[in-house]
Every structure is written in structure tokens, then in C-alpha cells.
Structure 1
Amino acid sequence: MKTYLVGGAVRDALLGLPAGDRDWVVVGATQAQMEAQGFRAVGKDFPVFLHPDTQEEHALARTERKSGRGYRGFVVDADPSVTLEEDLQRRDFTLNAIARDADGTLVDPYGGARDIAARVLRHVGPAFVEDPLRVLRAARFMARFAPLGFTVAPETLALMRQMADSGELDTLVPERVWQELRRALASKQPSAFLRTLHEAGALRHVLPEVEALYGVPQRAEFHPEIDTGVHQELVSDMAAHLAPGDDLIGFAALTHDLGKALTPADVLPRHIGHERAGIKPLQALAARLKVPAEHRDLALIACREHLNVHRLDELRDATVLELLTRCDAFRRPARIAQLATVCECDKRGRAGSAHDAYPQGAMLQRLHAAALSVNARDLVAEGLQGPQIGEALRKARVAAIGAARRGG
């Protein structure tokens, strides 16, 4: 019986990244032996145990054999005879197939340390194609590691294309797709997630509404990058920059322009009404992936309102109040700062615009604060009743917005 540190803890140490959770693999043991030493069994699909003192996960070395379609179709063998090399061989990428023993020696039968040094994401072996979730994991790892210079090995990308063409990605349950997407949006370079899936022919299976943006032209004077898919990549990366780790902002930024894929060809490169056209595909995407209501609702607001925020200076005071009301800004005031951030991501997520100022964001929040300062209780104290209160409140808020615009 021997224990090894494995997976992300070993990988991140070699990359010089902060240590996260530590996972261990135990070779030559049975479940009865683990429990006799005080380990508590917690695994449902394969034998995983919590250490009696550290509570860190320890899994018995195992092999996996494909037995059906999808990422759940596997038969697990955790016999004590399974070797460390066999356990590492079932893992997805070489950088995750490295172990470290008690004296610090690396066990690296598949060249993971070499690939880390070369900044290459490479699959361990041919069994990679057996788990469709690995396509999404590859893209998500790129969202995290592309800033470090990582690229996907050509042979790995070829296997990902094969898996996308096979239809296996259609077996993924919505919750797993959303989990990988959410983690990618919270990473440093979400564009690498989108670009990797796009190049692998997989984006059309998991996010067809986003895939449809690639190749759609925009007016060059507003979008020097021209391609709407490229614009979306820039917007997603700007969201990671302005709101690091915030997948709520990231999702709204990702889906704000879905309507551009529906623009009739004879109208291009203009996109008249794309903000309204984007509502239906956004609702379909959110329903399919079972996106949390908070994410869905902010995304719908950003999709519908981002052009209004861009032209905030042109809106009448009463129109600004209508915008705030549509956003439910008086019951959910945090939404306005979130909306302002998403709109800034859109404006700065364009070729050559990464460092541009976006005064509309600060102005929107200033006008919102002015409207919030109007208190209905004060109107009641003045003797107003019923419908009079609502109309007086509206007028007072419009006046407050106007005064804030004039610096009053």
C-alpha cells in the first residue's frame, strides 16, 4: 500500500501556481483496509475516501473501461493489483497524469512535465475519445492556461474534432455543460474556451447560438475586428479583465449580441434591432443549459438594453427612468452596476478599444443613485394618496435624474 499526490496539485506546483486542493491516489489497498485505518468512504461511482485527519480525498488506483455512450458509460476496476501507471493512464491530459511520492520524486510515465515546460495541452492516450466531457475540459483548461502560453497539441485537437463529429457531445447533460462553461467564464481568458471549441467543431454542439456569430460581419467603423465571433471573444476577455472571476458578468457579456446571428443577409453588415432579436436565442440557451435565474435575468437585461446604455447621453430623463424600471433597479439596485460593467465590456471589447474610456457606465450609476434618493415616504408625508403617489414619485425621480445630469 503506497500513497501518491496526483493531479492538479502536482501540475500547479510545476507551473508555479498557488496550491489548491490536494488529491491522493492509493496503490495496493482495498476498501476494507482504508476503512480499517479510519478513512471514510464517500465515493458513489468509484472508491474515494476522506483522510481521518486532513479530510483530503484519497482514491484507490483504478482503471476505467468504456461500456456505453456518454461520459457515464464506464466500468471501474479498483482492484489492489492496479498500478500507479495504469491509474495515470486513464486521466485526460499529460499535465494531469503526474504523481509525486512521499520523498518528492515525480512519477511521470506520459511526459506531463515535458509538456508543461513546452506549454502544450496533450491527451494521455487513445482512451481520451471515450469521454465527451474531455472536449469541454480541454477548452476550459485553455481558458485558464492560454495566458501562460499553452496551446492544444495538433493530435489532441484532431481527436476533439473526431469526438465532435461522432455526436458524443450530445450525450452531455446540461448541468455538466453549464459547470464547465461557468468555470471557463470565471477564468482569465474565456476567449480561449470559445476559440478551442470553435476550432474543434464542438461549439456548434454545446453553444450553437454563440457558434452562429462566427463569420457574421459588422460595420468596420464601429468594429474593426469585423467578425462578430471575434468581437464576442474580445468582449468575454474584457469581462474577465473588468470583473475577474465573476461568471455572472461573464455570462451576460457572452450572450449580449446573440441577435446578430439572426440579421438578414441583405441588411449586413448593419444589425438593426439585434438587441431585441437576441432575446429568443438567449432564452433558448438558458433553458437548455438550465442556467441559474440570476444569470439569465442579467443577461436578458444586458441583451435588451446595451445599446440604450451606449447612447445614454441621447436619452430623455424620462426614458432613463423607464430603462431603470425595466431593469427592476429599485428592487434590485445591484443590477445597474452589473449592467454598466457588461456594457463597458461590449464597448471596449473591440479591436483597438481595450483602453478606451466608457463614461456612460459611471453616468448610468450616478443617475440611478439620484433616482434611488427619492423616497416615497416623503410623498406620503406631504399628504398624497393612492395613484397620486405613483405619479409624483415618477416625476420626482425624473427631476432627480435631470438634476444629476446637470451636476445639481
Structure 2
Amino acid sequence: MKIYLVGGAVRDRLLGRPVSERDWLVVGASVEQMLVLGYKPVGKDFPVFLHPQSHEEYALARTERKSAPGYRGFVVHAAPDVTLEQDLQRRDLTINAMAETASGEIIDPFGGQADLQARLLRHVSPAFAEDPVRVLRIARFAARYAHLGFSVAEETRELMRQMVAAGELDHLVPERVWQELVKALGEGHPPRFIEVLRQCGALKVILPELDRLFGVPQPEKYHPEIDCGIHSLLVLEQAALLDADPRTRFAALCHDLGKGLTSAEILPAHHGHEERSATLVSALCQRLRVPTEYRDLALLTARFHGHIHKADELRPDTFLRVLEQCDALRRPQRFEQILIACEADSRGRLGFEQAPYPQAERFRRALSAAQGFDPASIDMAGLRGEQIKQRIHQGRLAAIRQALM
């Protein structure tokens, strides 16, 4: 029985990155031996155990054989006769297929260290093509390590294209697509995730609403980058600089989806795209089973970003209507995320990356004024129901009017 540190912990230590969690591989042991030693079984699809003291994960060495389409279609063989190299060979990327002994020796049968030096994301073996999730994972790694100059090896890009063409990604379940997307949104450079998926054709399969934006023009006067897809990537880049919360980044990414459905007769204008965007956001979120908090923030951003951009032109009653429809008085933190996504939208244009966004501050003033109005200051004598509600509305409106003078 031999134990090795494997996977991300080895990779990140060699990259000089902090190691947040460690995975261990056990070679030469059986399930029965692990149980006798006090390890607690937790694996559903293959033998994984928690160490009795550290509670870190220890997995038995295993091989996998493709038995059906999709990422669940595998037969797993875990036994004492499975070697370290056999286990490493089933992994996705060479930089993830290294092991480290207790003495610190690196075991690297597939050239992971060389690919770290070359800043390449390269598949270990043709078995990469058996698991469609790996297309999303490699795009996510590209987003994580973009700042270090990593790129996808050409032979791996070609293999990913072949997987898409063969329909492998059609077997992905919505929950797994969302899991990889939300992880990618939390990485250091999330636009790279979208770029890698688009290069191999996967974006059209998993996020067709976003893929449709590329090649669609918009007025150069307001959007020097012209292309709606490029704009969406620039907005996501700005959102990543402004807020680490993946909910805000998701809202920023989806805010303009409706521009992909603009009638060709009115291009490059996109009148009414906000409501079309909200409709597409709703459909996307239903398809991928997106959590409610992500969906609602994205819907509100899509629907109201046009109003917020025009803050200098709005009447006080429009300010209050936007605040009420965004439920900003009860959920000010979520409204702040909407404002951040709108600022990312404004800055996500060529030449506007450092431009101020006073519209957000104007809406913050309006919200603060509305919050500051005390309903107790109203004489409620003889008033009921709708009358009370209307008086409160009028009081908040007057407060906003005064604040924006």
C-alpha cells in the first residue's frame, strides 16, 4: 500500500500557487483494508474515503472504461493491482496527471512539468474524448491560468472540436453545465472560458443565446468594438474587475442577449432589446436550472440596464418605478449588484474602460432618499389600504425629487 499526493495540489505547488485542498491516491489497497484502518467511505461512483484524523479525501487507484454516451457512461475498476501510472493516465490534462511521494519526489509519466513550463493545457490520452465535461473543464482552466499565459495545445483544441462535432456535448446534463459555468465565472479571467468554448464550437451547444451575439453589429458611435459578442466579453471582463461575486458576473454576461434576435431591418440599432434579453435570460436559466438568486439578478439587469444608463434623463417618478420594480428598498445589496453590472456594461466598450459612471451614484442617491423617508411622518388618520400605500409612494417621490435637484 502506497499513498501519493495527486492532482491540483501537485500542479499548484509547482506553479507557486496556494494549495487549498489536497487529494490523495492509494495504490495497492482494497476497500476492506481501508475500512480496517479506520477510513470512512464517502464515494458513490468509485471508492473514496475520508482520513480518520485529517478528513482529507483518499481515493483508491482506478481505471475507467467508456460504456455509454455522456460523462456518467463509465465502468470503474478499482483494485490493488491498478498501478499509479494507470490511474494517472485516465486524468484529463498532463498538468493534472502528476503525483508526489511522501519524500517530495514528483512522478510525472506524461510530461506535466514540461507543459507547466510551456504554459500548455494538453490532454493526457485519447480517452479525454470520452468525457464531454472535460471540454468545459479545460476552458475553465484556461480562465484560471490566463494571467500566467496558458493556452490550449493545438492537438487538444482539435480533439475538442471533434468531440463537439460528434455530439458528445449533447449528453451533458444541465446541472453539470451550470456547475462548470459558475466555477468559470469565479476564475480570474472568465472571458477566456467563453473564448475557448467558442473556438471549438461548444458555445453554440451549451450557450446558443450568447454564441448568437458574435457577428451582430451595433452602432460604432456608442460601441467602438461594434460586435455584440465582443462587447459581452468586454463587459464580463469589467465585471470581473469590479466584483468577485459570480452572480454579478453572470448578470453582466447575459445583459444583452436580446441583441442576437434583433431584426436585420433595423441593425445596427437594437430598439427594445432589453425585454428580449430578459426573455432569453429566463429561458436560459430554466434550461440550465440556474439558482433563483442568479436568475433574478440577471433578469433585472437585462430589463433595466437601459433605464439606469439614462439616469441623467429620467424623471423622479421613473427613478422610483425602477427602484420599486427592482425591489431595491427591501434588497439594496442586490440593487447594488445591478448597478455594478451596469457600470461593467458602460466600461465594456473599447476606449471606455476607465470612464466614470455617474449614473450609478445618481441611483444610489435616489435609493438613499427613498429609504430615508419615514412613513410614520404621514398623518394616517382616516386612510386605508391603497390610500396609505399611495401616500408613502408620494412621500418617497418627493424625497427623491429633493435629492436629485
TM-score w.r.t. the length of structure 2 is 0.98
Alignment of 1:32-181 (within 5 A): 32-181=32-181
Match in the other structure for 1:312: 311
Separation in structure 1 between the aligned mates of residue 374 and residue 388 of structure 2, nearest angstrom? 11
The equivalent of 1:361 in structure 2 is: 360
Which deviates further from its counterpart, 388-397 or 316-325? 388-397
Structure 2 CA distance, aligned partners of 1:72 and 1:296?
A: 27
Per mean C-alpha deviation after superposition, the further-off stretch among 389-398 and 150-159 is 389-398
Match of 2:277 in 1: 278
What is the CA–CA distance in structure 2 between the aligned matches of 1:382 and 1:230, rounded to whole Å? 58
**Inter-partner Cα distance in structure 2 for 1:237 and 1:209:** 19
Alignment of 1:129-278 (within 5 A): 129-244=129-244, 246-278=245-277
* Structure 2 contact 28–82 (Cα < 8 Å) conserved: yes
Contact 1:236 1:253 in 2 (8 A): yes
- CA contact under 8 A between 1:7 and 1:23: conserved in structure 2? yes
Q: Which runs of 5+ in 2 are unaligned?
A: none
- Secondary structure of the residue aligned to 2:145 is helix
Once superposed, what is the RMSD of the aligned Cα atoms? 1.1
What is the letter of the counterpart of residue 25 of structure 1?
Answer: L
Check the 8 A contact 1:380/1:389 in 2, yes or no. Answer: no
User: Which amino acid in 2 is paired with 1:100?
Assistant: E
> Which residue does the alignment assign to 1:378?
377
Amino acid at match of 1:312: A
Distance verdict in 2 for CA 1:177–1:380, change over 3 Å: farther
Q: Which residue pairs with 1:352 in the alignment?
A: 351
Amino acid at match of 2:211: E
Kindly state the Cα deviation for residue 354 of structure 1 after the two structures are TM-superposed.
Answer: 1.2
Letter in 2 for 1:134: R
**Residues in 1 aligned to 2:345 and 2:281: alpha-carbon distance in whole angstroms:** 17
Q: What's the counterpart of residue 18 of structure 1? A: 18
Instruction: Figure out how many residues of one structure are paired with residues of the other and give that number.
Output: 405
Gaps of 5+ in 1: none
How much has 1:384 moved relative to structure 2? 4.2
What's the CA shift for 1:328?
Answer: 1.4
Deviates more, 1:384-393 or 1:262-271: 384-393
Q: C-alpha offsets along residues 291-322 of structure 1, whole Å, 9 cap, x if unaligned? A: 01111111111001001100111000011111
Q: Could you say what secondary structure the match of 1:82 adopts?
A: coil
Give the AA of the match of 1:241: L
Separation (CA, whole Å) in 2 of partners of 1:255 and 1:379? 42
Identity in percent = 56
Q: Residue in 1 aligned with 2:391? A: 392
> Which amino acid is 1:119 matched to?
R
Residue 287, structure 1, aligned to residue 265, structure 2 = no
Detail structure 1 runs of 4+ shifted over 4 Å in the superposition.
380-384
Per-residue deviation, 1:380: 5.1
**What code does the residue aligned with 2:193 have?**
F
Structure 1 contact 317–401 (Cα < 8 Å) conserved:
yes
